Structure formats: structure tokens, C-alpha cells
């Protein structure tokens, strides 16, 4: 609870609003592919964007070039960090541009592509700490459904127990939270809707602050479940404090490490 109030302060500072006017919301790393499924008759190049934001509010943070960005396919990692290009965006209610990162990749081989991202540490003055969100998304390619349940081996990550593509609105997403490869019992997982999801007809307004970020807790084995009530992209973030610190002006500061996973849901029509 405390943490979410501080996040509200961060938003206030960064949107140059009155501190008390900042809505409660959480930070999320985001990997946004132009498609979550690439079909054999449509093997087009995929645009993949990396962003750092408050998804429900549509507030974007300035993002430095990620430390590491790539995908895992059939047990092999491909590094795409050097292919990332900086892009500028502007969200409706912010009077400044923000930087995000983009690349294009053509998925030529069948199987699941687990895209992953390790960002540069983000300094959050309102919370007096750094934030590092290890982020993942799965793109299914050319008909072979294999690989989505493989851990990438990140410092912390969510490993899906639900196949993370081809999901209908209303489906549940179940995942396991890992820290250094081990389950995190009773991890707290924050869930947010990407209000600017492609295909989302109208922005969702939160009736009050608790609606912005949904919160679920994992069980004793680090397993959590959430049912997604709307078509679009949904982000899941499990947060831990790192054992290590990073220095800010020579002073060691705590580091929030997040395991973030994104899934897309479509309406049954």
C-alpha cells in the first residue's frame, strides 16, 4: 500500500501535477510486439517495441537503451540489443516526449519466441530507489506451439503455466514467479491493462484508485492466477527487492527488481 502511494507521488512529479493529484499506479516494463501470433500464410516482419510505463494511466517514462534485449527460441538465445533504435512518443496528457526502443525481426522458424528485456536501471526519485524490470512476452510462430513454458534464466521472471497466446477475453492467466530460478512463495503480483492496447475501442476509466492496479498473491509455490476481463494486452509484475544495491551519487540505493510478463486477449466474436 505504502509503495503505491509513493508511486502516485512519482507520477505527480513527472507529470508536473500537484502531488496529491497523481493517480495510484504501478511501473511496468513492456515488450510490445505488433502481433502475438505469426501464421504461416503471414510471415511478415514483426515490429517489437520496448517501453517503460504506467500502463493503465498511459503515462510513459523516459527509457534508456536496454542493457540486453533478445529472444529465446528452441533453447537458443539471439541478442537483438544492437538492433534497437530510439523512438520518441508523446502520451495525451503529458506535455513532454518520452523515449522508447524499437526493432523489427522476421520470425522464419516455427516455434515460440520468448522475447526478453533487461533494462538499464531506472532511477525513481519519489521512491528513492532504482527500478529494474526483467520483462518477457511470447510470440508464437508458424504453427509450432513449443517453448513458451521455458524459463529464460533471468534474475527474476514469470514462467507461464497458461499457454500465453491464443487467449480469449475472460480466460485466466496462471504463472509462477521465480527469483534466481526458485519459486517465490506468496509473491505479490500487480496486474495492469494496457489502456492503449491495439484494438481497444475506448480507454477504460478507473472509478477509483484501487481499480488502476489489480493485486493478486501467489500461493506457497509462487503460483498466481488472474482472469482478464477485456481484450488487449495485460501486464503482470512481481516485485522483489534485490540483494544488491546501486549507487546514486556515490550513495548505495535499494533496487526494485520486477518480473514482468505480457499476454494478449481477444474477444470471442
Q: Confirm or reject binding of residue 10 to Cu ion (CB under 5 A).
A: yes
226 closest CA partner among 180, 187, 182, 258: 187
Contact region with Cu ion (CB under 5 A), list: 10-18, 79-87, 188-196, 239-247: 10-18
**Smallest distance, Å, CB 63 to Cu ion?**
11
Contact region with Cu ion (CB under 5 A), list: 3-11, 32-40, 68-76, 225-233: 3-11
Identify whether the C-beta of residue 190 lies closer than 8 Å to the C-beta of residue 237: yes
Identify whether the C-beta of residue 12 lies closer than 8 Å to the C-beta of residue 21: yes
**Smallest distance, Å, CB 123 to Cu ion?**
11
**Alpha carbons 176 and 186: distance in angstroms, whole number:** 11
Q: Which is nearer to Cu ion, 10 or 105 (CB)?
A: 10
Please, what sign has the CA dihedral across residues 63, 197, 126, 88?
Answer: positive
**Smallest distance, Å, CB 254 to Cu ion?**
16
Which residues have CB under 8 Å from 202's CB, separation 6+? none
3-state DSSP of 78-132: EECHHHCEEEEECCCCCCCCEEEEEEEECCCCCEEEEEEEECCCEEEHHHCEEEE
**Smallest distance, Å, CB 179 to Cu ion?**
23
Size of the site for Cu ion (CB under 5 A): 1
- Bridge partners of 191, per DSSP, are 214, 236
**Smallest distance, Å, CB 32 to Cu ion?**
18
**Smallest distance, Å, CB 8 to Cu ion?**
9
Q: CA neighbours within 13 Å on the CB side: how many for 201? A: 4
Q: Which is nearer to Cu ion, 52 or 264 (CB)?
A: 52
| Secondary structure tally for the chain: helices H, strands E | 1, 22
In the complex, residue closest to Cu ion by CB: 10
Q: Which is nearer to Cu ion, 60 or 224 (CB)?
A: 60
Q: Which is nearer to Cu ion, 10 or 179 (CB)?
A: 10
Work out the number of other CB atoms within 10 angstroms of the CB of residue 104.
13
Contact region with Cu ion (CB under 5 A), list: 7-15, 29-37, 128-136, 181-189: 7-15
Q: Which is nearer to Cu ion, 21 or 45 (CB)?
A: 21
Contact region with Cu ion (CB under 5 A), list: 9-17, 81-89, 166-174, 188-196: 9-17
Binding track over 109-128 against Cu ion, x by CB under 5 A: --------------------
Torsions phi, psi for 95 (to 5 deg)? -95, 35
The one-character DSSP state at 181 is T
**Smallest distance, Å, CB 234 to Cu ion?**
19
**Contacting residues toward Cu ion, per CB under 5 A:** 10
Amino acid at each position: 500500500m505504502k509503495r503505491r502511494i509513493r508511486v502516485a507521488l512519482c507520477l505527480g512529479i513527472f507529470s508536473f501535477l500537484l502531488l496529491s493529484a497523481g493517480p495510484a499506479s504501478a511501473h511496468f516494463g513492456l515488450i510490445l510486439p505488433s502481433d502475438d501470433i505469426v501464421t504461416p500464410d503471414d510471415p511478415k516482419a514483426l515490429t517489437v517495441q520496448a517501453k517503460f510505463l504506467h500502463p493503465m494511466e498511459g503515462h510513459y517514462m523516459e527509457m534508456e537503451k536496454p542493457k540486453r534485449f533478445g529472444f529465446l527460441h528452441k533453447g537458443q538465445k539471439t541478442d537483438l540489443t544492437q538492433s534497437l533504435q530510439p523512438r520518441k512518443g508523446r502520451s495525451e496528457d503529458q506535455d513532454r516526449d518520452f523515449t522508447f526502443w524499437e526493432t523489427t525481426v522476421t520470425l522464419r522458424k516455427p516455434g515460440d519466441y520468448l522475447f526478453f528485456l533487461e533494462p538499464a536501471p531506472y532511477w525513481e526519485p519519489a521512491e528513492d530507489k532504482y527500478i529494474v524490470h526483467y520483462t518477457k512476452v511470447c510470440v508464437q510462430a508458424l504453427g509450432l506451439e513449443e517453448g513458451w513454458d521455458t524459463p529464460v534464466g533471468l534474475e527474476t521472471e514469470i514462467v507461464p503455466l497458461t499457454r500465453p497466446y491464443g487467449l480469449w477475453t475472460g480466460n485466466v492467466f496462471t504463472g509462477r514467479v521465480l527469483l534466481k530460478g526458485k519459486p517465490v512463495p506468496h509473491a505479490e503480483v500487480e496486474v495492469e491493462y494496457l489502456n492503449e492496447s491495439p484494438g481497444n475501442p475506448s480507454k477504460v476509466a478507473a472509478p477509483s484508485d484501487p481499480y488502476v492496479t489489480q493485486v493478486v498473491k501467489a500461493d506457497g509455490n509462487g503460483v498466481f492466477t488472474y482472469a482478464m476481463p477485456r481484450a488487449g494486452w495485460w501486464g503482470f509484475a512481481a516485485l522483489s527487492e534485490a540483494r544488491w544495491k546501486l549507487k546514486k551519487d556515490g550513495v548505495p540505493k535499494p533496487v526494485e527488481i520486477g518480473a514482468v510478463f505480457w499476454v494478449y486477449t481477444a474477444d470471442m466474436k
